[in-house]
Structures are given as C-alpha cells and as structure tokens.
Chains A and B, each alone.
Chain A
Amino acid sequence: DAGITQSPRHKVTETGTPVTLRCHQTENHRYMYWYRQDPGHGLRLIHYSYGVKDTDKGEVSDGYSVSRSKTEDFLLTLESATSSQTSVYFCAISDPQGGYGYTFGSGTRLTVV
C-alpha cells in the first residue's frame, strides 16, 4: 500500500546481531503495529503504538523492542537475533476515527542464520 512502507524488504543476519526494521507511514494514523507471520500461526502481535512514545506489548514481545519518536515511523528492534525470529514481519496502521480499517505493509522477510 502506498501509505505504508517497510524497510528492508529482505534481510539475512547472523545469530546474536541486533536488527532494526522500519515502518514508515504517510497517512498520519495514530496506531501502528508490528506482527510476525509464521506458517501455522497466522499473524501474531509483537508490539503496538497508540501515539508518539506510547507503546505496548503484544502476544509475542519477548526479544523485541520498539520505538516511536515520530508519528510516521515505528521501529522494531531485535536486540540479539535468534533463529526462532526468522519470520515475515508486517507493519500495520489504523485510525479509529477513520473506521478502524487496518492497512498492512508489504512485509519484511527476515532470516537469522
């Protein structure tokens, strides 16, 4: 979707290294989310943000941290990547005032070797 961009699209990293994924939106939506998608598990919420500097944990937050210093950017950091964090990561945005429609980015495929 043109209003939300994830970077990088693909990344291979080594176990134990820190990794940061970026989500950038141009819609000025208040809420931003990070999900991971794994076969057989669907999408699981990692962290979400309901405003600048306001974040909360989701279902699978262990090993992940987030930051949101500007409305448009939501960063996901893997402090010390592990093979279990190999996944496809999706960012999403929503605007409750606009009808709760969630818009998803195209995803980042992360491989930890």
Chain B
Amino acid sequence: AQSVTQPDIHITVSEGASLELRCNYSYGATPYLFWYVQSPGQGLQLLLKYFSGDTLVQGIKGFEAEFKRSQSSFNLRKPSVHWSDAAEYFCAVDFNQAGTALIFGKGTTLSVSS
C-alpha cells in the first residue's frame, strides 16, 4: 500500500542549530512531494513542493528539501532554526501525479530550545 513515513514523532533543536526532518515514501516511481507546516490551532501552510527537475528545492521561510530517488526520501532542512519555527511538520505525497489526493505522514513536532 502507498504510505508516507516520518520516523521522528518529536524533535527538539536549539535555536540557531541546523534541522533535518525525515520523510520516506513507499512506491517505486517518482511522485509529487510536499512539505507543510502547521502552527498550533492553524491550518496547513505549504513550505515547498517537488515535481521534477533539480532535486534540491527551495521553499519559504528558509527551508529546503532534497529528493533522493534511490532512498525514496524527501528530507526537509533548514540551516539555522528560529524559535518561530516550532510547529508540526507534515510530509505529503501525490503518488499518482494526478492531483487526486495527497497522502500525509503522521507529522513531526518540532520544539526549539533557547
């Protein structure tokens, strides 16, 4: 079955430190890949997306993600975390590349310590 895995349920990072959130997906072909962020009590905001081409994509708020086909991964990174980055992060995959529906990982909660 098609699935999206975010191995880390909760991560704590010091302010100013680098961040990497992991995402792996099932399936052999190259799907469309997304990262969303959700602040408490809010809806989801799109950080970045990958469809094809350059495997390193830039997003908003200083985030980037790298697609690695061989590892079926799409990890999210940020060089220097700010306290305002504390939120829940979701990886999502459109396996059919048809815009029919996204399948979400279960999310990673990021805490930022001072």
Contact = CB atoms under 8 A, between A and B. Distances in A.
Nearest to A40: B106
Interface residues of B, number: 23
Nearest to B107: A42
Given A42-B107, A101-B49, A48 B44 contact: no
Interface in A21-45: 31, 33, 35, 40-45
Contacts of B103: 45, 59
B44 A90 contact: yes
Interface stretch (A11-19, A66-74, A75-83, A104-112): A104-112
A86 to B, nearest CB: 16
Contacts of B104: 35, 42-44
B5 to A, nearest CB: 11
A106 to B, nearest CB: 5
B38 to A, nearest CB: 9
A8 to B, nearest CB: 15
Interface residues of A, number: 28
A1 interface: yes
Contacts of B13: none
B46 A33 contact: no
B46 A106 contact: no
B100 interface: yes
B43 A102 contact: no
Contacts of A99: 49, 51
Contact of B101 (A1, A45, A95, A105): A45
Interface in B15-72: 32, 34, 36, 42-46, 49, 51
Interface of A: 1, 31, 33, 35, 40-45, 48, 50, 58-59, 90, 92, 94-96, 99-107
12 contacts: A33-B102, A43-B44, A43-B90, A43-B92, A90-B44, A95-B99, A99-B51, A100-B32, A100-B51, A102-B34, A104-B44, A107-B42
